[in-house]
Homo-oligomer: A and B are copies of this chain.
Amino acid sequence: MKAFFSNDFIKNTNEGRLIQQKIRIIQAISQKGHGITVPEICEHLQISAPTGIKLVNQLQREGVLSIVGKKETVNGRRPIIYGLKDVAFHAVSVEILLKRVSVGIIDSEFNILYHKQKTDFELENTPECLAGIELFIEECLLDSGIKEDTILGMGVGITGRVNQSTGESLSYFNFMDQSLGEHFSNNFQIPVFLNNDTRCFGLAEKIIGKARQVDHAIVINLSRGLGTSLIIDNKIVNGAMGFAGELGHMQFGRKDKICLCGKSGCLGNDVGGYALESDFIEKLSEGTQSLLRQSDKNKPIRYDDILEAALQGDNLSIRLIQDMGFKLGNALGNIVNLLNPELIIIGGKFSRLRDILLGPVNSGLANSSLTNTLNHCKVEFSELGALAGLKGAGAHVFDYFELIKN
């Protein structure tokens, strides 16, 4: 099966066309999510019935298709439904974050068949660090026991700046004479699709999350930092150099904080786990009381704890998170005016706090967005959980081969 897809250059001959047509049948079945009939194939591929039957028979003989049943129709002879038989496609997903590497294997329905994390890890721009990652991936591939020839490709999400089209990682592992994507591809001998970790998250929402039915959405990844993926005309926006989505440096923040980028007023300094921690400590030092502070006076306060405290009803935590929600909504309103999306998805660690955040975010939006535009834009919270980024990385593979159910 793999040969079908991995063969990038299909010759302009009869045989080549045959292979292409077979691929399109497999893709059509995957996209439908269930079996297909010969008349549907003929309609889709613009071929006649005898040719459609010929292709189906060949695919049956090759062990790819089998008869699944008959389609229920109002009248006339019922067409036979053909389904994919025993053909499991897999993708390797890799997520490279600052302090963690994750490897997963997913199938075309985005079930995670295998998953392993490496947490004794620190991302550094060195050959040694890269070699460590590759060793880990290799171990996982062996450990998983997945047959090599069912793996269509590898999707990699890496933190920092990425040029998706060239497979370049501009922030890390940029010391080679080839792009990181090419390097992985040569090393593992499979097609590799590299993207930014946040955009992987956005793709996951688009393909298996809440943005499924939607062509225009803003996907916020709100955890320690603030990441954004833009979905426009049903595609993730990468930007000219792959830098798109830098919502964190829009000038909607407090002017008294200086950002790492050198400017003041960056939204990312006001919104996100890191900002929450410093705001919280500031308020405590001003004497505000909090449930959280009373537990252990020496342990440093982490934003996860503040989120948890807010869910437990801690007043200070709730108030700070609400403030943050308003600021985020206000900034988003400006983008809503600009891009006119129909959906905003808030994901990441903060997505658990739907009940606390939704109101302030909506208030912020109403403060800056045009009524007419806002009326057609909903705010939702992600339900994909912790493995969303990993699923999104793998989704690139199935997306490329057009095997994703729609």
* A interface with B by C-beta (< 8 Å): 12, 17, 42-43, 46-48, 161, 214-216, 228, 230, 232-233, 235, 237-247, 249-252, 261-263, 330, 333-335, 337-342, 367-368, 370-373, 376-377
Q: How far is the CA of A233 from the CA of B372 in the complex (A)?
A: 26
Smallest beta-carbon distance A304→chain B, Å: 28
Q: A376 touching B240 by the CB < 8 A rule? A: yes
Name A334's contact: one of B233, B243, B250 (CB within 8 Å). B250
User: For A161, what are the chain B residues with a Cβ–Cβ distance below 8 Å?
Assistant: 372
User: For A245, what are the chain B residues with a Cβ–Cβ distance below 8 Å?
Assistant: 338, 340
* Contacts A42-B12, A250-B334, A251-B334 given; does A239 touch B370 at CB 8 Å: no
* Contacts A246-B370, A249-B370 given; does A241 touch B340 at CB 8 Å: yes
Q: B235 touching A233 by the CB < 8 A rule? A: yes
Smallest beta-carbon distance A366→chain B, Å: 10
Q: How far is the CA of A215 from the CA of B238 in the complex (A)?
A: 11
* Contacts A12-B42, A12-B46, A334-B251 given; does A376 touch B241 at CB 8 Å: yes
* Contacts A43-B12, A370-B249, A370-B261 given; does A242 touch B340 at CB 8 Å: yes
User: For A371, what are the chain B residues with a Cβ–Cβ distance below 8 Å?
Assistant: 261-262
User: For A341, what are the chain B residues with a Cβ–Cβ distance below 8 Å?
Assistant: 239-240
Smallest beta-carbon distance A369→chain B, Å: 8
Q: How far is the CA of A335 from the CA of B47 in the complex (A)?
A: 47
User: For A372, what are the chain B residues with a Cβ–Cβ distance below 8 Å?
Assistant: 161, 243
Q: How far is the CA of A247 from the CA of B337 in the complex (A)?
A: 7
Q: List 9 A-B pairs, minimum CB-CB distance, nearest first.
A: A239-B340, A240-B342, A243-B340, A216-B240, A246-B337, A244-B340, A250-B334, A249-B337, A12-B46
Q: How far is the CA of A377 from the CA of B240 in the complex (A)?
A: 9
Q: A12-B42, A335-B338 are in contact. List 5 more A-B contacts (CB 8 A).
A: A240-B341, A246-B337, A251-B252, A251-B333, A263-B368
Smallest beta-carbon distance A210→chain B, Å: 15
Smallest beta-carbon distance A206→chain B, Å: 14
- 23 pairs, A vs B, C-beta closer than 8 Å: A12-B43, A12-B46, A12-B48, A215-B240, A232-B233, A232-B237, A233-B235, A233-B238, A237-B339, A240-B340, A240-B377, A241-B340, A241-B373, A241-B376, A243-B340, A244-B339, A246-B338, A246-B340, A246-B373, A250-B338, A251-B333, A261-B370, A263-B367
User: For A338, what are the chain B residues with a Cβ–Cβ distance below 8 Å?
Assistant: 228, 230, 244-247, 250, 335, 338
Closest B residue to A337 by beta carbon equals B246
Q: How far is the CA of A216 from the CA of B237 in the complex (A)?
A: 10
Smallest beta-carbon distance A386→chain B, Å: 27
Name A368's contact: one of B215, B242, B243, B251 (CB within 8 Å). B251
Q: How far is the CA of A12 from the CA of B198 in the complex (A)?
A: 43
Name A243's contact: one of B12, B17, B250, B373 (CB within 8 Å). B373
Q: A239 touching B368 by the CB < 8 A rule? A: no
Closest B residue to A369 by beta carbon equals B249
Most interface-central of A228, A243, A377 (chain B CB within 10 A): A243
User: For A335, what are the chain B residues with a Cβ–Cβ distance below 8 Å?
Assistant: 338
Q: How far is the CA of A246 from the CA of B334 in the complex (A)?
A: 9
User: For A367, what are the chain B residues with a Cβ–Cβ distance below 8 Å?
Assistant: 263
Q: How far is the CA of A215 from the CA of B244 in the complex (A)?
A: 13
Q: How far is the CA of A230 from the CA of B237 in the complex (A)?
A: 12
Q: How far is the CA of A337 from the CA of B48 in the complex (A)?
A: 51
Closest B residue to A259 by beta carbon equals B370
User: For A17, what are the chain B residues with a Cβ–Cβ distance below 8 Å?
Assistant: 46
User: For A242, what are the chain B residues with a Cβ–Cβ distance below 8 Å?
Assistant: 340
